[in-house]
Amino acid sequence: MKVTQHKNGVLISGIDDFDLEQTLDCGQCFRFWLNSDGDWHGVAGDRPITLRRLDDGILFLNITVGEFEEFWRRYFDLDRDYAAVRAGFPDHPALRDSTCFARGLRILRQDPWEALISFIISQNNNVPRIKGIIDRLCRGFGTPCGDDFAFPPPSVLACLSTEELGVIRCGFRAAYILDAAKRVCSGQIDLEQVAAMPIEQARAALQTIKGVGPKVAECVLLYGMGRLEAFPLDVWMKRAMAELFPGCTPESFGRFAGIAQQYIFHYCRCNPSCLCSTVQK
- Give catalytic residue positions: 215
- Write out the residues near DNA by the rule CB under 7 A: 26-28, 122-130, 132, 166, 169-172, 207, 210-217, 219, 232-237, 261-262, 265, 279, 281
Contact call for residues 44 and 110 (beta carbons, < 8 A)? yes
**Least spacing, CB of residue 206 vs DNA, in Å:** 9
For residues 35 and 150, what is the distance between their CA atoms, to the nearest angstrom?
A: 19
Q: Sign (positive/negative) of CA torsion 174, 175, 177, 182?
A: positive
What's the closest the beta carbon of residue 106 comes to DNA, in angstroms? Answer: 12
Whose Cβ is closer to DNA: residue 13's or residue 123's? 123
**What minimum distance in Å lies between the beta carbon of 269 and DNA?**
8
What CA–CA distances, in Å, run from 271 to 58, 93, 265, 277? 26, 15, 10, 12
Q: How far is the CB of 67 from DNA (least distance, A)?
A: 27
Q: CA distances (Å), 152 to each of 141, 144, 165, 241, 249, in order?
A: 6, 10, 12, 36, 36
Q: Which is nearer to DNA, 43 or 240 (CB)?
A: 240
Which CB, 5 or 162, lies closer to DNA? 162
Q: What's the chain's Rg over C-alpha atoms? A: 19
Q: Pick between residue 246 and residue 278 the one whose CB is nearest to DNA.
A: 278
